[in-house]
Amino acid sequence: MTITLKVSENTKKEMEEFFADYKREKTPPYAVFQADDADCVVTLYESGKAVFQGMSADISAQLWIERERHLNPTKKVDVKNSETEKKEKKEVYVDPKIYHASCIGSDEVGTGDYFGPIVVTSAYVEKSLIPWLEELGVKDSKKLTDDKIMEIVPQIIKKIPYKSTILTNKEYNERYSLDMNMNRLKAILHNKVLVELTSEIKNYDYVVVDEFAKPYVYFHYLKESNRVFRNITFLTKGEDRCLAVACASLISRYIFIHEFEKLSSSLDMFLPKGASTLVDEAGEKIIQKYGADKLKEIAKYNFKNTEKILSQKEKK
């Protein structure tokens, strides 16, 4: 994966300071530096072009996309993703029977973020609202920035019934175990919001879940649940194939952003999203300020970031 981001001088300066200890000895022509960031190689050029290459390029780049947006709020962020461009060329089959039907969709966010909760939402889209949602931009929901999400979701939730549930990281750490992995937690949370919404909404054609596990695995995770909703259509790339799933994703993201901002405010510090080395740095500052046990309240403790953060504490 290759992501290219055009950064301003203030972001460029921050990147130089941040990657000072991670620089490679050899630097490509016209580059300010080349550095290693987990499973990603970052190259910053004199022109202000920052190139992120590797398995975790999306995570590493996202942090600097957010910093560029934060430091230069009036400037449009210029970013290109090679994987997105490839995926756009591959057409995803959209079943018109599902896409143009009245559907309940379910999706989650926050499972890949060290800080911030897991949010799962089920949303009901009546088919008459599909043209309006397309006009808002929901059809291309993966292309929407957080700023755009904060702008359009208040309009969406005025017209679309939904149910959301928030699993804080303190609750996540209390429940996570060998028998209770991430996907099982997700299945339980999806089932919860689906049971709640289908109890109120009866006039739907399909219930669609963005597939994160095979159906038999999903229902196996729910074997101990008292009430299980079973009439589900599981779709990969559900956001592209069902606007109810896309709406569920956007509402979840909207709630996640609000919760993330509240957490940052309570700690009185900037918290990066994702799970990269910038997140590790924030974790080290939290330990210095609040102690190591604070991570058990605000972070997903089983993530590899915890080990890296604690090892840095021991070195100091």
**Tens of pLDDT, residues 259-280:** 999 999 999 999 999 888 889 9
Using CA atoms, how far apart are residues 124 and 163, in angstroms rounded to an integer?
9
Q: What is the pLDDT of residue 71?
A: 92
Q: What is the pLDDT of residue 144?
A: 87
Q: What is the pLDDT of residue 90?
A: 58
Q: What is the pLDDT of residue 39?
A: 81
Using CA atoms, how far apart are residues 290 and 286, in angstroms rounded to an integer?
6
How many angstroms separate the Cα of 43 from the Cα of each of 5, 29, 57, 63, 245?
10, 11, 11, 15, 36
- Out of 3.30.420.10, 3.40.640.10, 3.10.580.10, 3.30.565.10, which CATH number does the structure's domain 96-261 have? 3.30.420.10
| Phi-psi category of residue 156: left, alpha or beta, with phi > 0 → left and psi -120 to 50 → alpha | alpha
The residue among 91 and 137 whose pLDDT is bigger is 137
Using CA atoms, how far apart are residues 258 and 169, in angstroms rounded to an integer?
15
The CATH number given to 2-89 is 3.30.310.10
Phi/psi of residue 50, each to 5°? -110, 125
User: What pLDDT digit, counting tens, does each position of 85-112 carry?
Assistant: 655 555 678 999 999 999 999 999 999 9
User: What pLDDT digit, counting tens, does each position of 15-54 carry?
Assistant: 999 999 889 988 888 899 999 887 889 999 999 999 999 8
Using CA atoms, how far apart are residues 221 and 306, in angstroms rounded to an integer?
27
Q: What is the pLDDT of residue 249?
A: 96
* Angle at alpha carbon of residue 247, lines to 144 and 143, rounded to 5°: 15
Residue spans per domain, the chain: 2-89, 96-261
pTM (2 d.p.): 0.74
* The two structure tokens encoding residue 109: 């966010």
Q: What is the pLDDT of residue 89?
A: 53
User: What pLDDT digit, counting tens, does each position of 197-239 carry?
Assistant: 999 999 999 999 999 999 999 999 999 999 999 999 999 989 9
Q: What is the pLDDT of residue 85?
A: 61
Mean pLDDT of the chain: 92
Instruction: State how far Cα 309 lies from the chain centre.
Output: 22
